[in-house]
Amino acid sequence: MRFAIAIALLVPIARADSPPTFAHDIAPIVYEKCAACHHAGAAAPFSLLTYDDVKKRAAQIAAATKSGYMPPWLPEKSPEAGYGEFQDDRRLTQEQIETISAWARAGAPEGPAAEIPPAPLYASDWTLGPPDLVLEAKNPVQLPASGRDIYWNLIFDPHMTERRWVRAVEIRPGLPRVVHHANLLVDRAGAARLQEKSPGKGFPGMDLVIGRSPFDPDGNFLFWKPGNAPHVEPDGFAWPLGPGNQLVLNMHLQPSGKPEQVRPSIGLYFTDHRQTQFPLLVQLEDDQALDIPAGTRDFPVSDDFKLPLDADILAVYPHAHYLGKLLEAYATLPDGSKKWLIRIPNWDQNWQAVYYYREPVFLPKDSVIHMRYHYDNSTANPRNPNSPPKRVTAGNQSTDEMAHLWLQILPHAPGDHRRELEAAVMRHRIEKNPNDATAHMNLGALLLSRLDPQAAVAELHTAARLAPKRPEVHNMLGLGLATLNRNSEAIPQFELALRLRPDYASARFNLATALAKVGRIDEAIANLRQILAANPDDPYAKRRLAELSGLHPNPKP
């Protein structure tokens, strides 16, 4: 377990006749702002837990803090503009920066050794204490000594026997110094297994998207970055994990100069407090606009989304790659006033993070959220991966670009209003890209759930035209048609879904239901028996088979 000794947050102002000392002035700053990364086994390359550790790097620390490079913290803070107040702010005050500089110039005096505060203690155990469930990768990821960054996904199976509520996740990356960051995704449909060629070995990919039901949208950031403490969800915000669910860890790995093995593990912390608050992760993006000519110093990309309801913004996660420079997000309220969400004047993807607000940011209905990103593809950008600069477009490699703004949004009214919010998100995606088959499918599913099957079928027909080889699209279209009692049209859609994916139990059950409604009882029973042959305990198939067998006591075998 990690134990942190309470450190005074206020740094005394050094007297004019006495230089700052490590004991009284520097240790409190270093232990609070630096030690989380700078200790043995952490991501930083050296430790800063003793006077000797800090003294021999006094000039380096003074330069890094004066330039703003350390401690790493990207969001700009301006009391006048109000760019956003975030939890766990690592920025140093100007007074602290000047104190460090004065201490280094004075020769880094120790002061009374007996008065140095105790350094934080970092053990190898879990930060939040022993987890309720620990999952370890079956096989380590083999990281070569050199070459390009590697993006790898590992699948973890928690083997849940009942639904539990997760209040916190702690990701232990295995070898923090080579792991740039990691995202955890919940896979409820087994979609990730289809991408894994060798069981237990994982599969490559940078920005992984897990196919999932629109009725089970992402609502929580599950993110690891060096130096960031695990986020504990408040009561009511825990998320469900049930039987058949799997977790996918998406890691960004950086070669260290020698071959390495990276074997991460995940700690899950459960709670008995069920979910009563239902936030939604909403993404603004405009990757299709990313086509940045070589030498361009200011390439703007934008997106705008109108809120369909009153909402609180709980957290924000901006994302770009090496060419990102100025990243801004703000809202225009219905009265025309402007409210900042975040402003990053000097983006560096090495220090990207999820930022939680100290207090939720309330936005009334019809507020418009704006994403305004600027990219620098010139030689003036020290992080430009190409020398000389080259044309850069959107893509999954780190040398490509992205323009993403993720927001954790909680509808202000009590209850679960995610479907209303997600429907607005899907319409926004379709407005930007009419050929977005997933958006059409999800909007159709949401309309179906909101008892508008006629509009749902129109969206699902469009999705099927755009993505004719996606079985879930045909299954959903079949459901829409069946809801309108157009079962003779629904049956071919279910059959097509099964030709594309023969083990698609949901489509086979829906086919059986539609066949029964048009009087084809024998065929319905045969399909239900096929489901039970693969899964004898399927309760829905067993109940439906019993019902149909009662109607048709002598079905054909």
Q: What residue spans define the domains of the chain?
A: 22-115, 133-271, 280-418, 434-551
User: What is the full DSSP assignment across 30-48?
Assistant: HHHHTTTTSSTTSSSSS--
Distance CA 538, CA 543 (A): 9
The two tokens of residue 228 are: 């960031």
Distance CA 314, CA 351 (A): 20
Cβ–Cβ contacts within 10 Å for residue 321, how many? Answer: 23
Q: How is residue 22 annotated by DSSP?
A: I
- If DSSP codes are grouped into helix, strand and coil, which group holds residue 280? strand
CATH topology of domain 133-271: Jelly Rolls (2.60.120)
List per-residue pLDDT tens for the chain, 557 residues long.
333 333 333 444 444 568 999 989 999 999 988 988 888 877 788 899 999 999 999 999 999 999 888 998 899 987 667 788 899 888 898 999 999 999 999 999 999 999 999 988 876 678 888 999 999 999 999 999 998 888 899 999 999 999 999 999 999 998 888 998 899 999 887 778 878 888 888 988 766 666 556 556 789 999 898 777 789 999 999 999 999 899 999 998 989 899 999 999 999 999 999 999 999 999 999 999 999 999 999 999 999 999 999 999 999 999 999 999 999 999 999 999 999 999 999 999 888 889 999 999 999 999 999 999 999 999 999 999 999 999 999 987 778 999 999 999 999 999 999 999 999 999 999 999 999 999 999 999 999 888 899 999 999 999 999 999 999 999 999 999 999 999 999 999 999 999 999 989 999 999 999 999 999 999 999 999 999 998 888 888 899 999 888 766 565 55
Distance CA 283, CA 408 (A): 9
Q: CA nearest 341: which of 304, 297, 388, 395?
A: 304
Q: How is residue 511 annotated by DSSP?
A: H
> Residue 304: is it exposed, middle or buried by C-beta count within 10 angstroms (0-12/13-18/19+)?
middle
CATH topology of domain 280-418: Jelly Rolls (2.60.120)
User: What is the full DSSP assignment across 472-487?
Assistant: HHHHHHHHHHHHTT-H
CATH of 434-551, one of 3.40.630.30, 3.40.1190.20, 1.25.40.10, 1.20.140.10: 1.25.40.10
- If DSSP codes are grouped into helix, strand and coil, which group holds residue 288? helix
**Longest alpha-carbon distance in the chain:** 102
Distance CA 35, CA 426 (A): 43
* pTM of the predicted structure, to 2 decimals: 0.85
The domains spanning 133-271 and 280-418 adopt the same CATH topology: yes
Phi, psi (degrees; rounded to nearest 5) at 450: -100, 20
